[in-house]
């Protein structure tokens, strides 16, 4: 029996190379090793205001990008969260077992609520309960995510343990799997902030569907420092971020990269990095065009996957309801 792996991605904004390098690339690579379920988390997306037409279009776009990146619908289920009712239902039940103090410690809520001010919804605060439901419904063992989601996955593990200690063995204990390199890709405009889908500055992120010229221009403008030497050094966040992106896209080792840039300047590195990223995204971009040319294809893959995972989710939900004494 393969281990169950579950992860999610929000259908909001533009999917960028941070999402790709930390999450999607790992998901593609681990398809033979794990029994994979990937969820397009539209219920999470509405924790902040969304335009309905755009949200609907983004669900298809993100799914298409996952398939284009190499997720094989025969090996992995890619489905839309709101199409499986058990997610919202389990989230409610779990709500009643999460101490307020655990939620108040969540750093992502603190950051997002600072930006949103009076628009902060109860749903945004409750985000980790829904995420725990996602994970726990499928007896998940591993959750491949970027660094920013570690705290949420730990909350779901603590919650599973708490529930099990009250009612007896009910949930598997999930564990976050975070890549060693690229777990936190930083913004090109400000390398002290993580690359994010919701940032407005056009020079902030490289999106998976950016044209070659956009990619080259964004990298050219990326913020670095006034030093010259090209070396992996976390104390120089701008150049470090570019080098990490180069490392993953090129497949070269750090020593090889440093050796090949001895005596060369940032301009040369940026030029080469532009080409490495353009070439690295090319196959994905052309597969995406093919996939989306066929109307209804993505929708039918999503519906099939939802039908496949729904019975698994319902089985867990029934177990939980019976433990709690509901119905």
Please give the residues from 62 up to 81 whose contact with ligand TRP meets the rule CB under 6 A: none
CB of 302 to ligand AMP, least distance (A): 17
Joined together, the tokens standing for residue 32 give 């033979």
Q: Is the CB of residue 143 less than 8 Å from the CB of residue 135?
A: yes
For the chain, the farthest-separated pair of C-alpha atoms sits apart, in whole angstroms, at: 72
Answer with the entry of ligand TRP, ligand AMP, none that 194 interacts with (C-beta below 5 to 8 A by kind): ligand AMP
Answer with the entry of ligand AMP, ligand TRP, none that 184 interacts with (C-beta below 5 to 8 A by kind): ligand AMP
312-319 — which CB contacts under 8 Å span 24+ positions? 312/137, 312/138, 312/139, 313/84, 313/86, 313/87, 313/90, 313/137, 313/138, 314/86, 316/86, 316/90, 316/136, 316/137, 316/138, 316/139, 316/171, 317/86, 317/89, 317/90, 317/137, 319/170
Q: Is 143 in the site for ligand TRP (CB under 6 A)?
A: yes
H or E element at residue 295 = none
Question: Which of 25, 58, 197, 270 is labelled catalytic?
Answer: 197
Whether 112 sits among the annotated catalytic residues: the reply is yes
**Residue (of 45, 40, 38, 44) closest to 5 by Cα position:** 38
Residue nearest to ligand TRP (CB): 8
Q: Provide the b/e sequence for 22-33 (b: ≥16 CB within 10 Å).
A: bbbbbbbebbee
Instruction: Please choose, out of 141-149, 218-226, 247-255, 305-313, the segment that lies near ligand TRP by the rule CB under 6 A.
Output: 141-149
Q: Is the CB of residue 89 less than 8 Å from the CB of residue 95?
A: no
- Dist. CA 224–CA 19, nearest whole Å: 22
Nearer to ligand TRP, 17 or 135 (CB): 135
CB of 23 to ligand AMP, least distance (A): 4
Judged by CB under 6 A, the residue of 4, 8, 238, 270 near ligand TRP is: 8
Whether 315 sits among the annotated catalytic residues: the reply is no
Which residues of the shown chain bind ligand AMP in the complex (CB under 6 A)?
9-10, 18-19, 22-23, 145-146, 148-149, 183-185, 194-195, 197
Q: Is the CB of residue 48 less than 8 Å from the CB of residue 131?
A: no
Residue nearest to ligand AMP (CB): 146
Q: Is 44 in the site for ligand TRP (CB under 6 A)?
A: yes
Q: Is 134 in the site for ligand TRP (CB under 6 A)?
A: yes
Answer with the entry of ligand AMP, ligand TRP, none that 143 interacts with (C-beta below 5 to 8 A by kind): ligand TRP
Joined together, the tokens standing for residue 240 give 């470090």
Please give the residues from 150 up to 169 whose contact with ligand TRP meets the rule CB under 6 A: 152
Question: Which of 25, 58, 194, 218 is labelled catalytic?
Answer: 194
Whether 175 sits among the annotated catalytic residues: the reply is no
The residues annotated with a catalytic role in the active site are 112, 194, 197
The residues of the shown chain that bind ligand TRP, judged by CB under 6 A, are: 6-10, 41, 44, 131, 134-135, 143, 145, 149, 152
């Amino acid at each position: 029996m393969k281990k169950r792996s579950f992860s999610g991605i929000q259908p909001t904004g533009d999917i960028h190379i941070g999402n790709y390098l930390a999450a999607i690339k790992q998901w593609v690579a681990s398809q033979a090793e794990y029994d994979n379920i990937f969820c397009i988390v539209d219920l999470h997306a509405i924790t902040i205001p969304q335009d309905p037409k755009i949200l609907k279009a983004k669900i298809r776009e993100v799914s298409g990008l996952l398939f284009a990146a190499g997720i094989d619908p025969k090996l992995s289920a890619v489905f839309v969260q709101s199409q499986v009712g058990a997610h919202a239902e389990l989230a409610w039940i779990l709500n009643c077992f999460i101490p307020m103090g655990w939620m108040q410690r969540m750093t992502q809520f603190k950051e997002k609520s600072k930006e949103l001010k009076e628009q902060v919804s109860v749903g945004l605060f409750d985000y980790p309960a829904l995420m725990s439901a996602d994970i726990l419904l499928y007896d998940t063992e591993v959750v491949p995510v970027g660094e920013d989601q570690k705290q949420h996955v730990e909350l779901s593990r603590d919650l599973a343990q708490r529930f099990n200690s009250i009612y007896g063995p009910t949930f598997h204990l999930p564990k976050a799997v975070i890549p060693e390199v690229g777990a936190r890709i930083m913004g090109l405009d400000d390398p002290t902030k993580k690359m994010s889908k919701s940032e407005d500055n056009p020079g902030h992120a490289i999106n998976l569907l950016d044209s070659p010229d956009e990619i080259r221009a964004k990298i050219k403008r990326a913020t670095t420092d006034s030093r010259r030497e090209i070396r992996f050094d976390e104390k120089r966040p701008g150049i470090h971020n570019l080098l990490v992106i180069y490392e993953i896209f090129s497949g070269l080792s750090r020593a090889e990269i440093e050796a090949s840039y001895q005596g060369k300047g940032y301009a040369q590195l940026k030029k080469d990095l532009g080409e490495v990223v353009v070439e690295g995204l090319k196959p994905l971009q052309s597969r995406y065009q093919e996939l989306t040319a066929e109307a209804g294809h993505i929708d039918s893959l999503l519906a099939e996957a939802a039908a496949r995972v729904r019975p698994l989710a319902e089985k867990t939900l029934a177990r939980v309801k019976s433990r709690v004494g509901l119905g």
